[in-house]
C-alpha cells in the first residue's frame, strides 16, 4: 500500500507540501477536539482518510518511520522541515 502522504512530502503535488503540513499541524494544535477535527478532515480529503486507515491499531510514528525507510527517505529531514 502506498503512503498517501508521501506525494505531499516528496513534493510531487503542485502546492508547497511542507507549508500545507505545517498549516494542518497548527490547526490541530488549536483545535478543541483534535480527534474530531481529524475525522472531519478525513471525510473531506481522501488522502487524509488513507493515512488514518494506515495507522489503525498502530503507532503513527512507527508507520511514518516504516514508510520513510521503504521510500529511502530520512525521517529526520522531513521532521526538521516541518519545524
Each residue of 9-36: pLDDT tens digit?
Answer: 544 445 666 677 777 777 777 777 877 8
Closest C-alpha among 44, 80, 62, 79 to residue 3: 62
Instruction: Quote the pLDDT of residue 4.
Output: 57
Q: pLDDT at residue 73 above 90? A: yes
Each residue of 45-72: pLDDT tens digit?
Answer: 888 888 888 888 899 899 999 999 999 9
- Give this prediction's pTM: 0.54
Residue 20 · residue 11 · CB < 8 Å: no
Amino acid at each position: 500500500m502506498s503512503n498517501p502522504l508521501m506525494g505531499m512530502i516528496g513534493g510531487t503535488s503542485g502546492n508547497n507540501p511542507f507549508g500545507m503540513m505545517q498549516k494542518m499541524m497548527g490547526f490541530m494544535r488549536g483545535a478543541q477536539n483534535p480527534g474530531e477535527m481529524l475525522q472531519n478532515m478525513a471525510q473531506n480529503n481522501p488522502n487524509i482518510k488513507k493515512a488514518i486507515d494506515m495507522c489503525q491499531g498502530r503507532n503513527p510514528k512507527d508507520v511514518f518511520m516504516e514508510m520513510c525507510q521503504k521510500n529511502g527517505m530520512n525521517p529526520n529531514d522531513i521532521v526538521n522541515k516541518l519545524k
